[in-house]
Amino acid sequence: MAILLIAKADPLMPAYNPIKFIYASTNSGNPGFKFVFDIYESGTANKIAEYRVLPQYVSGYGEIDLSKLLQAKVSYDLELANTTVYDATNSHYKYDVAIGEEYLTIVQYFANLTNNGGNVQINVANSFVVGDQINIAQVGGGVANPNLEGLQTVIGVGPGYLVVNSPWSLVTNATVNGDITYADGRRTINRALRQDKNNYVFNGAIRWVEWPAYDYQDYLLNNVTDKLLTTLPTDGYHATLAQDLWMDAVNNSPAGSHRMVFENNLGDILDKDVAATDHVVGISVGPNNHGATNVVAGSAPLIKPGTEWYDFYYEHLGTQTSQKYRIYLDRRVRDIEYHILFLDRMGSWGSFAFTGRYYEKGNVTREQFNRDVQGYISSQYWSYNTQDKGYVNSYISTDTTIDLNTNWMTEEMAQYFSELISSPETYIKKAIYDDEDCEQPQSTEYISCNILTSSYELFKKRNKNLIRQSITIKYANNDLVNG
């Protein structure tokens, strides 16, 4: 018996795309054959799923897609106060796949039948015991020995033979061969004939048209063309000084120093340690939350009055191992700006600033019921007070929606903006400034929200010279009213 690999998922896969494993078996033609897939938390005996898969018609291959299973094993990591690095434990999962097979337990006999005390003795090595119910299928369908065909009971066993409750006197041809199976369809199961270990998924979903070009090695951070786990544009992205960004990265080479390097247009080079140890780590890189850094060249801080942009990239053992991502600083003055933090399609946290006009509106929800007015009796006459209530409010809550508008943005930002609208996890932050330089907001706070906007247009420069976007959001929790 052998399990042969036909195709399998890459060692690093986005959990929301197909994650297929396909195998062949030398036993796939056996009656009742199925592939047995056992899925484990990697490196443990913790089985998270077991599947039995019929072989495909014609090819006989066993194929399974684990994406639905593994999507339930990943979520996201959000540390709003973090300005350094953290293990993105929830953003990825490591698993092992063990492939086996099962088929009907069959004992084939080829030796002549013999007489044993007036009953039929079948001469073959077996593991049956007295009382077992079995089925016998003879070559030729039992024409020669019809009483031996079908359901029988084992009434005797010995070394290399078994005896069934079929009279020897009814056997007309002792040379007919046959197959014996358990009447209850008992199966032979061989697990883990092949194992494919140390597979990873991360909380990502690549667009349908881009999926065929996916190469997991592009995210292992081995050279200057590799990528962080984000769809943030490498150029053309503008951010205000109060915006936060957290980027996920694959910590593929645990040995040696790992650093995130920052370079600005003034020639300053600064870095910070990536000291997290998990396979996927989150790193704060935004204008507002890039955190404390070490000076490599030039001087600190990273953002000075003359800073127009800065790049960030990953470095391992002193060598650049990722693309550079450029952040242009938007210093336009405003008193209040809103930011939406969102989970992008590769599991990192991007953000957009809404510095245009905004409109905050409230909506009141009431639950009412009509009750009888009891009134009162005075001098044998029934009456009531005008203050008595018929309709009564039993539950009142208010919810808040906000219409937000961006400032002018680039085409690259417009593409990234579409991910904000479709993101399942969003948070709004209001930044209020009280200084003329807008260097530091007076107060900020993230509040969970939902995007109500359900349609968008992917603006292109060839169609629209000035690109601006608008969305409507709603706080994720209502405010209750006392009563």
pLDDT at 443: 65
Gap between the terminal Cα atoms of the chain? 74
**So what CATH class is 3-80+93-102?**
mainly beta
Q: How confident is the model at residue 441 (pLDDT cuts 50, 70, 90)?
A: low
Match 């009447």 to its residue by tokens.
183
The closest alpha carbon to 229, from 282, 287, 284, belongs to: 282
- Residue 438: pLDDT above 60? no
Q: Using one digit for the tens of pLDDT, what is the confidence trace for 76-103?
A: 999 999 999 999 999 999 999 999 999 9
Mean pLDDT computed over 204-229:
96
pLDDT at 135: 95
The closest alpha carbon to 263, from 214, 219, 296, belongs to: 296
Amino acid in the structure at residue 362? G
DSSP for 120-144, please give it: EEE-S-----TT-EEEEEETTTTSS
Q: Using one digit for the tens of pLDDT, what is the confidence trace for 122-171?
A: 999 999 999 999 999 999 988 999 999 999 999 999 999 999 999 999 99
> Which two three-digit tokens encode residue 184?
């209850």
Q: For residues 124 and 113, give the distance between their C-alpha atoms in angstroms, rounded to a whole number.
A: 10
Q: For residues 82 and 267, give the distance between their C-alpha atoms in angstroms, rounded to a whole number.
A: 26
- Residue 437: pLDDT above 60? no
Would you say 229 and 219 are in contact if contact means Cβ atoms under 8 Å apart? yes
141: left (phi over 0), alpha (psi -120 to 50) or beta: left
What is the rounded average pLDDT for all residues in the chain?
92
Mean pLDDT computed over 359-364:
87
Mean pLDDT computed over 451-473:
77
- Residue 396: pLDDT above 80? yes
DSSP for 185-220, please give it: --EEEEEEEEEEEEEEEES----TTTGGG--GGGGS
- Which H or E run contains 344? none
Tell me if the bond preceding 233 is cis, omega within 30° of 0: no
Would you say 353 and 333 are in contact if contact means Cβ atoms under 8 Å apart? no
Match 């809550």 to its residue by tokens.
397
Q: Using one digit for the tens of pLDDT, what is the confidence trace for 260-272?
A: 999 999 999 999 9
> Which two three-digit tokens encode residue 262?
């920052």
Residue 421 phi/psi, 5-degree rounding, is -65, -35
Topology (CATH level 3) of domain 106-185: Elongation Factor Tu (Ef-tu); domain 3 (2.40.30)
| Residue % of the chain over a pLDDT of 90 | 74
pLDDT at 331: 86
Sequence ranges of the domains in the chain: 3-80+93-102, 106-185, 215-483
Q: Using one digit for the tens of pLDDT, what is the confidence trace for 473-483?
A: 999 888 778 87
Better pLDDT: 196 or 437: 196
Q: For residues 482 and 480, give the distance between their C-alpha atoms in angstroms, rounded to a whole number.
A: 7
pLDDT at 460: 67
pLDDT at 301: 96
Residue 254 phi/psi, 5-degree rounding, is -65, -25
Match 């208010």 to its residue by tokens.
398
Report how far apart, in Å, the C-alpha atoms of 200 and of each of 11, 55, 409, 469, 476 are: 6, 26, 36, 36, 32
- Residue 357: pLDDT above 90? no
DSSP for 87-98, please give it: E-GGGEEEEEEE
Q: Using one digit for the tens of pLDDT, what is the confidence trace for 29-87?
A: 898 999 999 999 999 999 999 999 999 999 999 999 999 999 999 999 999 999 999 99
Q: Does the fold of domain 106-185 match that of domain 3-80+93-102?
A: no
Mean pLDDT computed over 216-220:
97
Radius of gyration of the chain (CA): 35
